[in-house]
């Protein structure tokens, strides 16, 4: 049975938008090459620029007839050095002083000559003697020798040129700053106003950080999905509780790989993905996946292996950052990632056993919904069903079916545009718009005609429907039906 090629892709590809793909024509090319979702990094650019990107994304979405989720990635309490002009040379063995200029002024003190400015008001409160401070993704390191509020003295361990606005990491230090900064609140308001689909929360430490964001959204009647970025050791320790309260999780290997030893990152990645799979929550693997393609037309062998192994680990999505935002070969990077994912998916699906679909997904809203999803995946495997069509208002059934990783195409059929976009982040799930619903039988027949009429499948294809009956009451999924087109 012929299936449209784009529906056979299982792993989703999240692409960061920037100057390299920020126009409608480039975004159409990105979607055609395999992009599934677009990320806006609020650490860079202005609201005006991001608004232009969102307009272009929605135009590209209409042009390609797809449903594309937009992820607004909050900066969070990212610590950075201040303005340093042409940079400052850190010489091993030399002593330096760090302080937040605003706090120094507030205390009516003089900012020491040659001191490093940092935008971290609590630096003297959170640090103690012996702590390590890392700059520029861990390339430069100093060790704290003395703390006298508001100043921190440190000796340079690994030197080099430190430039303006480079990031600061504090391994094994509990930061007192709120997970939701003033800038994050402005960016959240922007995301709500512009109709984003997901919010990615940076530097999550516990479930409280996610619950804070959820309360903020609830107060504004906003239903954006919340993605927890795991990039702090505290988050790894609190992984289970964070997954439970999040809508999705991102393995943010950039800061994570600075905060913990690089040798630990692969195993932590596997653990995060495995627990997300257990809870039935989508998981994105991110950072430097095809980094060399920022400047080169082909990836390294190690990068290709990295992407493939993430797929084999069970990730729902992989992410491109600089490769698509500022890279010289953004479309080639997307196409390459799609090719690698497709090869790895063949191997992944060959390993699946139908018995695995029986495992209950803890995040299901009801046991009945989860049982229907498990049964749908199992029947689809045994009957070699061409498509599982889940009629849903929320997309939950599609998520629970996808968690079982069936070979069949999964279509989330809905009248709700936000749902069609949200499922775009789920493994193997694609949205199909339904204008209205009537009785159960009439709706099934209407969907069958759409599947053939829109070229999704040929006549004779087998489709397994999951539906909540009665439809008009928006009942939870409680029915299975196997139909032939």
Task: Give the span between the Cα atoms of 477 and 471, in whole angstroms.
Answer: 9
Regarding whether 65 and 86 lie in a shared domain, the answer is: no
The answer to whether residues 194 and 154 belong to one domain is no
Interacting residues of 146 by C-beta distance below 8 A, sequence separation 6+: 129, 152, 153
CATH code for position 245: 3.20.20.60
Q: Which residues contact 116 (CB under 8 A, 6 or more apart)?
A: 81, 82, 84, 88, 96, 97, 98, 99, 162
Q: Phi and psi at residue 446, in whole multiples of 5°?
A: -65, -45
Q: Residues 141, 184: one domain? A: no
Domain annotation covers residue 3: no
107 and 217 inside one domain:
no
Calpha distance 135→160 (Å, rounded): 10
Q: How many domains does the chain have?
A: 3
Q: Is residue 206 part of a domain?
A: yes
Same domain, 317 and 422: no
Active site residue 129: no
Q: Give the residue numbers spanning the domain of 39.
A: 8-76+179-345
Annotation says 353 is catalytic: no
pLDDT of residue 1: 44
Distances in whole angstroms, Cα of residue 288 to Cα of each of 47, 175, 319, 321: 25, 26, 9, 7
Do 186 and 268 share a domain, yes or no?
yes
Q: Which of 80, 166, 469, 476 is catalytic?
A: 80
Is the preceding peptide bond at 470 cis, omega within 30 degrees of 0?
yes
Whether residue 276 is found in the same domain as residue 240: yes
> For this structure, is 229 an active site residue?
yes
On whether residue 52 sits in a domain, the answer given is: yes
Strand order across the 167-169 sheet: 79-80, 167-169, 132-135, 140-148, 151-158, 95-99, 116-117
In a domain, 157, yes or no: yes
- The CA distance from 129 to 484, in Å, is 71
In a domain, 1, yes or no: no
CA-to-CA separations, 140 to 135, 136, 155, 455, in angstroms, rounded: 5, 6, 11, 56
Of 252, 248, 291, 281, the residue nearest 268 (C-alpha): 252
Tens digit of pLDDT at every position of the chain (485 positions): 444 546 889 999 999 999 999 999 999 999 999 999 999 999 999 999 999 999 999 999 999 999 999 999 999 998 999 999 999 999 999 999 999 999 999 999 999 988 999 998 999 999 999 999 999 989 999 999 999 999 999 999 999 999 998 999 999 898 888 889 999 999 999 999 999 999 999 999 999 999 999 999 999 999 999 999 999 999 999 999 999 999 999 999 999 999 999 999 999 999 999 999 999 999 999 999 999 999 999 999 999 999 999 999 999 999 999 999 999 999 999 999 999 999 999 999 888 665 555 677 887 777 888 899 999 999 998 888 999 999 988 999 999 999 999 999 999 999 999 999 999 999 999 999 988 777 788 889 999 999 998 888 999 999 999 988 776 556 678 889 999 99
Residues 337 and 414 in one domain: no
pLDDT digit string, tens, across residues 280-301: 999 999 999 999 999 999 999 9
Residue 2: inside a domain, yes or no? no
Q: What is the pLDDT of residue 437?
A: 73
pLDDT at residue 442, as a whole number: 87
The confidence score (pLDDT) of residue 286 equals 98
**Within a domain: residue 34?**
yes
> Which of these three, 148, 169, 190, is where a domain ends?
169
**Do both 236 and 335 map to the same domain?**
yes
What is the rounded distance in angstroms from the CA atom of residue 64 to the CA atom of residue 60?
Answer: 6
pLDDT of residue 472: 56
Are 329 and 465 found together in one domain?
no
Among 328, 345, 362, the domain boundary falls at 345
Query: Does one domain contain both 191 and 47?
Result: yes
Which residues fall within 8 angstroms of residue 39, CB to CB, at 6 or more apart?
14, 15, 16, 17, 70, 71, 72, 73, 200, 319
Q: Which of 298, 319, 345 is the last residue of a domain?
A: 345
Catalytic residue among 26, 205, 214, 229: 229
Structure tokens, 358: 């029986």
Residue 384 covered by a domain: yes
Per-residue confidence (pLDDT) for residue 218, from 0 to 100: 97
Q: Which residues, including other chains, have CB under 8 Å from residue 255's CB and lie 6 or more apart?
A: 167, 169, 203, 231, 232
Residue 5 annotated to the active site: no
The single residue of 11, 16, 285, 287 carrying the catalytic annotation is: 287
pTM for this one? 0.94
308 & 371 share domain = no
The CATH number of whichever domain residue 165 belongs to comes to 2.40.33.10
Active-site position among 12, 26, 39, 78: 39
User: What's the burial of 19, exposed, middle or buried (CB within 10 Å: 0-12/13-18/19+)?
Assistant: middle
């Amino acid at each position: 049975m012929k299936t449209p090629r784009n529906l056979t892709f299982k792993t989703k590809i999240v692409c960061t938008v920037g100057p390299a793909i920020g126009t409608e024509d480039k975004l159409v090319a990105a979607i055609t090459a395999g992009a599934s979702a677009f990320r806006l990094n609020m650490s860079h650019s202005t609201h005006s620029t991001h608004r232009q990107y969102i307009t272009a994304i929605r135009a590209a979405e209409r042009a390609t007839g797809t449903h594309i989720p937009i992820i607004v990635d909050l900066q969070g309490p990212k610590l950075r050095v201040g303005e340093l002009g042409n940079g400052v040379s850190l010489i091993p063995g030399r002593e330096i002083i760090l302080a937040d200029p605003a706090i120094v002024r507030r205390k009516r003190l003089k900012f020491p000559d040659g001191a490093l400015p940092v935008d971290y008001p609590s630096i003297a409160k959170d640090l103690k003697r012996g702590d390590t401070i890392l700059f520029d993704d861990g390339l430069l390191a100093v060790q704290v020798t003395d703390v006298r509020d508001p100043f921190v003295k440190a000796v340079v361990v690994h030197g080099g040129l430190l430039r303006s606005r480079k990031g600061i990491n504090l391994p094994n230090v509990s930061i007192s700053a709120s997970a939701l900064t003033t800038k994050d609140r402005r960016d959240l308001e922007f995301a709500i106003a512009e109709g984003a689909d997901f919010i990615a929360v940076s530097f999550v430490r516990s479930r409280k950080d996610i619950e804070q964001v959820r309360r903020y959204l609830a107060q504004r009647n906003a239903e954006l999905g919340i993605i927890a970025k795991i990039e702090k050791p505290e988050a790894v320790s609190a992984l289970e509780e964070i997954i439970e309260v999040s809508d999705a999780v991102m393995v943010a290997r950039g800061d994570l790989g600075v905060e913990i030893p690089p040798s630990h990152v692969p195993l932590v990645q596997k653990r995060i993905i495995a627990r997300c799979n257990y809870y039935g929550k989508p998981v994105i693997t991110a950072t430097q996946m095809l980094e060399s393609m920022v400047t080169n037309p082909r990836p390294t062998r190690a990068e290709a292996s990295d992407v493939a192994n993430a797929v084999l680990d069970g990730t729902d999505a992989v992410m491109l950052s600089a490769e698509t935002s500022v890279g010289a070969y953004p479309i080639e990077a997307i196409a390459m990632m799609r090719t690698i994912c497709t090869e790895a998916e063949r191997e992944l699906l060959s390993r699946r056993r139908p018995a695995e679909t029986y495992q209950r997904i803890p995040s299901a809203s009801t046991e009945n919904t989860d049982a229907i999803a498990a049964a749908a995946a199992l029947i689809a495997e045994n009957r070699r069903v061409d498509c599982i069509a889940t009629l849903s208002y929320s997309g939950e059934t599609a998520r629970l079916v996808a968690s079982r990783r069936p070979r069949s195409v999964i279509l989330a059929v809905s009248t709700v545009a936000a749902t069609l976009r949200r499922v775009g982040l789920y493994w193997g799930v694609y949205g199909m718009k339904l204008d209205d619903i009537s009785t159960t039988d009439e709706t099934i027949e209407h969907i069958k005609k759409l599947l053939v009429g829109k070229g999704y499948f040929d006549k004779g294809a087998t489709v397994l429907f999951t539906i909540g009956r009665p439809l008009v009451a928006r009942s939870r999924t409680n029915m299975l039906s196997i139909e032939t087109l």
